[in-house]
Amino acid sequence: MKYVWIVFLGMLTAAPAPAQQKMEKVVASWLPIMQTMAYYVALEEKLFEKAGIEIDSKMFQNPNQIIDSLVAGQADFGPPGAAAGITVLAESRYPGTFKVFGLQGGGIKVKLINDGLIVKNDSTIQSFKDLKGKSLGHLPGIQWRTISRHVVRSNGLDPDKDVRLQEVAVALQVPSVVAGTVDATLSLEPVGSIAIASKEAQRAMTNPVAMFIADPFYSGVSVLTAKFIKERPAVARKVVEVLDQATDLAMKDFDKYRPIISKYTAIKPDQVKLVAQPYLRGFKDLNDTDIKSYQALVDVFHKEGVLKERFDVGKILLKPSDLK
């Protein structure tokens, strides 16, 4: 009997362990801004791991670099916060490269902040009309140069003659305004919150782009490469589902996730309470208003001569059938 019990224990020891879930490696290129919030939540809640995805996370400071990495096949997707306009520019040049599955920004009616006109506390600049003969900083790349030109033009000024446009990286925007390197910046969150926290700068205008392009305004997108969808549709579908889930969490319980902002952006832990909540739209929630807003941004690129022909954003939007 003792012999039988020993053999039984030996069989248990030798039994194969349950097969572990195979992890699919996926590369993401992202920008440290508030529009990327759903991605931060997904990482913190380990939603990708739960879906069987191992994320190789690559941070950039320039929106152009994100799209370049996707076009070059160095990444599989751009999490929320990838540049909406640059994505379309790349798609127009390389048709069939991208599918957009989410929008991020802010708006006046929804009372959520996407961008601001940032100036020093003692500045006399109160609007874009006050920028004649002055300098305006903006994010590096064609997207925010085009948006800045359009907003300046919409305020009765010539962007080639009346205002000096200057590219300034996210982390340098508030220091540049405070130091006087530029007179103002058109900045995405959390730059406005950082400005207020510094006690040396402020938002002269809140959500100015929504005033002059579309309300709500979306400058960020979530984007998959067509190559990723074609080669691994099931994994691409999981990425979309994870970010939809994370978007819901971020929107419904933003205050809960405030502490993680300092881990992924230039906001310091004692400043997170000042950060404005972004307006995040997941794939499952996109509606006609969202699509019209995105189209309005893309039309600006046509009006400013960056796109030779008008681009229909319907061509680049992800459809459920794309993931089957």
Identify residue 227 by its one-letter amino acid code. Answer: K
Q: For residue 20, what pLDDT is reported?
A: 61
Burial of 3 (0-12, 13-18, 19+ CB in 10 A): exposed
Query: Considering just the CA atoms, what is the radius of gyration of the chain in Å?
Result: 23
- The answer to whether residue 38 scores a pLDDT higher than 60 is yes
The pLDDT of residue 11 is 41
Q: Does the reported pTM lie above 0.85?
A: yes
Split at pLDDT 50, 70, 90, the class of 114 is very high
Provide the pLDDT for residue 62. 84
Residue 27: strand, helix, or coil:
strand
Q: How many CB atoms lie within 10 A of CB 23?
A: 13
Instruction: Give me the amino acid identity at 264.
Output: Y
Q: What is the pLDDT of residue 165?
A: 98
pLDDT of residue 85 exceeding 50: yes
> Which whole-number Å values give the CA distances from 28 to 75, 153, 189, in the listed order?
6, 35, 21
Q: List helix spans (H) across 63-190.
A: 63-71, 84-93, 142-154, 173-179
Mean pLDDT over all residues of the chain?
92
pLDDT > 80? residue 277:
yes
Task: Please give the single-letter amino acid code of residue 42.
Answer: A
Which pLDDT value is given to residue 21?
67
Residue 101 · residue 147 · CB < 8 Å = no
Q: Return the sign of the alpha-carbon dihedral for residues 276, 171, 257, 120.
A: negative
pLDDT at res. 5:
41
The tokens for 128 are: 């874009």
The mean pLDDT of 17-40, rounded to a whole number, is 86
